[in-house]
Structure 1
Amino acid sequence: MSPTSDDREALHSGELEILGRIRSASNATYLCEATLGQHRVHCVYKPVSGEQPLWDFPDGTLAGRELSAHLISAELGWNVVPYTIVRDGPAGPGMVQLWVRQPDDDDAATPVPEMVDLVPGDHVPAGYLPVLQAYDHTGEPVTLVHADDARLRRIAVFDVVINNADRKGGHILCGVDGGVYGVDHGVSLHTEDKLRTVLWGWAGRPVADLDEQAPAALARLLEALDGSLAATLEPHLTSAEIVALRRRVAGLLEHPVMPMPNRHRPIPWPAF
């Protein structure tokens, strides 16, 4: 979603009112309305005080990683992460992100495309790629699939760049504007390889096959990491994490092939 200037001003300076808690999230996550004058906009608010410490991600850094993911997406020119800032809110400082309006938000009769899904047996629908086979809660065979969609391919490349450790199916949202967006990037940008994703359908494929413009975008990102972007990321990531980010981008340019899943937990759990 591309915010208007009024949206941006409201997110930055408006009064945040909590409308409800998003219970499916592992950390404290709230649906809010930001109001500035007569302008109102919905957003997601994740206060730092509500973050659950993780052994491999230091406490109090998840909001900064969410912001960093947005800044990297913007630098690439891909707009795959909704507009994101860090500001004070009702429960203290935290991440505030533009709400992605989905088709069923406006019209319950409008079908929402399933970018990631489970299908019976090995019956992979046309236009989808298989990821893995498993058994459902009744013992029936199922296959995890995702769409072979150009918008989703870009998210898959982006996840390699940010070393996303938690790309679940539920973290992929289809907006009413026709865009496909990734959310929940607090568990990303680690120095160690932690890529865990449901988007393994393009593993081993050349990056340019997924998006012919990706190499040029990655080259621009690498240049920015040698300049202003690194300085912008410094308050939110450690110097080692910024170095690791630059190394991943440079490595993807030198060997422009999508990685293969490792044998140790390549998919986040639960997958949705």
Structure 2
Amino acid sequence: MTPDDETLLSTGEIDLLGLIEASSNSALLARVSAGGRTSLAIYKPGEGERPLRDFPPKIYRRERAAYVLSDALGWEVVPTTVLREDGPFGPGSLQRYIQHDPLLHYFTLYDTRPETHDELLRMAVFDLVANNTDRKGGHVLLDPDGHVWGIDQGLCFSAPFKLRTVIWEFAGRPVPDDLLEDLGGLLDELPAELAELLFPMEQMALQMRVADLLENPVLPFDETGGYRVPWPPL
């Protein structure tokens, strides 16, 4: 991503194009325009969120937190995501839309595109560290350049360990050294913005998950016997 992507999303005029019908919380397709540039984006207003028992309101802020973490690691797992207080339906997140073929999702990528496996493994590591509770197969997108992206990260960063994901094929695999090196910096200091987006206990738990992974650098198995998979899986 370039700084211009974040500037465009942060300052551009938002024109709503339609509702993403399959989304459990309100998600709207938008066109963002500024300075002669345009981009499609996904706008998620706080007003459209369903109340959750295990997450506080304003989960759209966790969409931004996931991007901040991905960007700090240099992994490009999460598309550019900003917060907008002036959205058409009030405060919410705005994420760059990823052009993709909806028939290509985690399951088809894993089965038919072995060249994506390194990026899928990296996403599994990211989800473990971010404590993603909702990594469905349809949240994994392949863009026209062949890069794998993860979307819908609003249900991340809980302090209690709640990992739920469809990405279990890499369980038992060692985490590559370059990823461990990237993660090591989080033990010294988290990105400053996370202090504004997450509770102190959530920040501490994030660093503890990193420390545990560095001590035992292997992707875990689902110790619950198959219950750590979100529903529906796609």
Which interval holds the TM-score relative to the shorter structure?
over 0.9
**Structure 1 residues 125 and 216, CA, compared in 2 at 3 Å: closer, same or farther?**
closer
Contact 2:105 2:141 in 1 (8 A): no
Give the equivalent residue in structure 1 for 2:195: 234
Give the equivalent residue in structure 1 for 2:179: 214
Q: Mind listing any 5+ residue stretches in structure 2 that lack a counterpart?
A: none
Displacement of 1:178 after TM fit? 1.5
Give the AA of the match of 1:266: R
Displacement of 1:9 after TM fit? 2.5
Residue 223 in 1 paired to residue 191 in 2? no
Find the residue that maps to 1:149 and give its secondary structure.
Answer: helix
Displacement of 1:125 after TM fit? 5.4
**Structure 1 residues 114 and 55, CA, compared in 2 at 3 Å: closer, same or farther?**
closer
**Structure 2 matches for 1:120-139, cutoff 5 A?**
none
Larger radius of gyration: 1
**Structure 1 residues 113 and 51, CA, compared in 2 at 3 Å: closer, same or farther?**
closer
Give the AA of the match of 2:164: R
Give the equivalent residue in structure 2 for 1:170: 138
More strand by share: 1
Find the residue that maps to 1:234 and give its secondary structure.
Answer: helix
Find the residue that maps to 2:164 and give its secondary structure.
Answer: coil
Displacement of 1:148 after TM fit? 6.8
Give the AA of the match of 2:11: S
**Structure 1 residues 126 and 101, CA, compared in 2 at 3 Å: closer, same or farther?**
closer
Residue 266 in 1 paired to residue 228 in 2? yes
Find the residue that maps to 1:160 and give its secondary structure.
Answer: helix
Give the equivalent residue in structure 1 for 2:106: 115
Q: Give the Cα–Cα distance (whole angstroms) in 2 for the partners of residues 78 and 114 of structure 1.
A: 19
Contact 2:137 2:166 in 1 (8 A): yes
Give the equivalent residue in structure 2 for 1:149: 117
- Tell me the TM-score normalised to structure 1 length: 0.80
Give the AA of the match of 1:56: D
Give the AA of the match of 2:73: L
Q: Which of 72, 84, 105 is 1:75 aligned to?
A: 72
Q: Which of 45, 57, 60 is 1:59 aligned to?
A: 57
Find the residue that maps to 1:34 and give its secondary structure.
Answer: strand
More helix by share: 2
Percent identity among equivalent residues?
42
Q: Mind listing any 5+ residue stretches in structure 1 that lack a counterpart?
A: 106-111, 119-123, 129-146
Displacement of 1:252 after TM fit? 0.6
Displacement of 1:224 after TM fit? 2.9
**Structure 1 residues 190 and 125, CA, compared in 2 at 3 Å: closer, same or farther?**
closer
Displacement of 1:38 after TM fit? 2.1
Displacement of 1:158 after TM fit? 0.3
Residue 196 in 1 paired to residue 164 in 2? yes
Find the residue that maps to 2:44 and give its secondary structure.
Answer: strand
Q: Give the Cα–Cα distance (whole angstroms) in 2 for the partners of residues 224 and 98 of structure 1.
A: 27
Describe the superposition over 1:49-83 as per-residue Cα deviations: whole angstroms up to 9, x where unpaired.
111111000122x1111111111111111011000
- Tell me the TM-score normalised to structure 2 length: 0.92
Find the residue that maps to 1:213 and give its secondary structure.
Answer: helix
